Amino acid sequence: MRLRNIKGAKETVLKSSYVIENPNLYYGNWEVCFSNQNPIHVEIGMGKGRFIIENAIRYPNINFVGIEKYNSVLVKAIQQLEGKNLPNLKIISMDAKEIEQIFNQEIDTIYLNFSDPWPKKRHAKRRLTSTDFLEKYEQIFKNKKHIIIKTDNRNLFEYSITSCSCFGYHIKEISLDLYQEGRNDNIPTEYEIKFSNKGYPIYRMEIEK
C-alpha cells in the first residue's frame, strides 16, 4: 500500500520537541539525551505511535525511542503527543537499516510490531528479523538480547521463529492467538486493533539471547 504524501510533513515532524534530528550525535551516550540511566526500549516501525506513547505513559521509569521511516506517518504520532509531557520518549525519523549507527550497546528491548512482511523471497533480507538485521541488533543491545514481536502475518511469524532460533535466540513466550489468552498487559498498535477487530489471530513472541 502506497503512503499518501502529506505536504509539510517533514517540517512538522522536525518541529516537535520529541524528535531527535541528529540522533547519531548521541551514539553511545543516550543517557545524556534522557538525562538518566534508565533502561532504553526501542520500537522499530512505530507507525502512528499508539503503542510507544502508551508505553511511555504507563512506564515512566523506562526510556522509549520510536523509529519510523515515513514522516507522513509520524505526523499522526506528533498530533497524538500534543499536550502531553513525556520526558521518557524520543522519536527518530530514519531507516532502521542504519540503526547500528545510532546506538552502541545501550538498548535493553526491541519491539517489532506488525513489520512489513516483505513476502517475496528475493526481499527476505529486508525483513526486520532477517540475519542482516539480527546482526545489527547485536551491536546495539546492552547486555541480554530481548526482542518482542507481534504480527498478523503467519508466514512472517514462522520465518521469524526459524531465523531468530538459528541466530541463537530462545523463545521465552509465544502466542498463536493473543486475544484468546485474555492478557491484561497488552498494549495494542493501530494495526493490531484493526486486524483483531476483523477476527485475524495476532501472533506474539518474546525471545531472549
Residues annotated as catalytic (active site), given as ranges:
116
Side-chain-side CA neighbours of residue 30 (13 Å):
29
Dihedral sign of CA atoms 126, 131, 134, 135 in order:
negative
C-alpha cell at 114: 506488525
C-alpha cell at 1: 500500500
Side-chain-side CA neighbours of residue 59 (13 Å):
14
C-alpha cell at 77: 504520532
C-alpha cell at 155: 508466514
